[in-house]
Amino acid sequence: MRIPRIIGWIGLVLFVFTGCVDENSSVFISHSSIFEFDENAGCFASPDARLARAELNVAYSDNSYEMAAVVVSQLVRRNIVTTAEPNGLYIRRFEVELTDENGARLVDTYSVTPSGGGYIPPSPLGGSERAVFAITLIPSGVTSLLQDYVEPGGELGVIASIRAFGRTTGGTEIESASFDYGLKLVHDEENARVYCPAITDPVDLGIMNCVSGQDGFPYLIARCN
């Protein structure tokens, strides 16, 4: 008479396990890397680097926030030579929801596309693979809306809840776990604009071209020849 109960218990375990898989914690955003600049390669970011401070100056409506999102995949390589590998992952877009620190939504949820696209190969058993995706986390159109929340000289802490969406080489649609990215909005018009005569190191100018107006870098309005 215990058999139905045992079967029911097994069914419950399978249901719970299936729920965990559907949430797909095998794909997640681990952190934000740091943009660097090379005179030959241009802007790039290493998955090993980690940003310590996130800040956006919203004093200028055409400013935007660029993020180097590090996405990790634990989808395991099948290693079956007779069939195509189904667990490689293409990331297609990121969904962003901006709220204040109390959870109030500041703008409508929107999606952004990673610059250049990107692919994460399948991971070995018990391991993981990762890749850096450059995304405009806060486009200039959103910056102009956020200006309403920050007075000149003021600041506001916000949280960007980010999800990555993609498709495996086997055709399965993937949604990552949500990643909360905290950053500070400031409205600073003083000493924020940078002119070329003040720039002595062209490499510094290159870095500002990567992240102008964010993370402590001034807002750049001119380039040096």
Domain assignment present for 15: no
| Beta pairing partners, 182 | 159
Distance between CA atoms of residues 19 and 175, nearest Å: 14
Domain assignment present for 121: yes
C-alpha angle 131-87-92 in degrees, rounded to nearest 5: 50
Domain assignment present for 141: yes
In 3D, which of 74, 76, 70 has the Cα closest to residue 51? 70
What sign results for the dihedral spanned by CA atoms 44, 110, 101, 91?
negative
Domain assignment present for 3: no
Q: Name the DSSP letter for residue 214.
A: B
CA distances from 215 to 56, 65, 87, 162, 183 (A): 6, 9, 35, 19, 9
* Tokens standing for residue 59: 């004093």
In this prediction, residue 73 carries a pLDDT of: 95
For residue 30, the enclosing domain spans: 25-220
Domain assignment present for 154: yes
C-alpha angle 117-123-128 in degrees, rounded to nearest 5: 90
Domain assignment present for 5: no
Q: Name the DSSP letter for residue 105.
A: B
Q: What is the pLDDT of residues 9-30, one digit of tens each?
A: 333 333 333 233 335 579 999 9
CB 53 within 8 A of CB 80: no
Q: What is the pLDDT of residues 101-157, one digit of tens each?
A: 999 999 999 999 998 778 999 998 888 999 999 999 999 999 999 999 999 999 999
Q: What total number of domains does the chain contain? A: 1
* pLDDT class of 84 with cuts at 50, 70, 90: confident
| Mean pLDDT over the full length of the chain | 84
Which uninterrupted H or E stretch holds 204? helix 202-211
Q: What is the pLDDT of residues 201-210, one digit of tens each?
A: 666 788 888 9
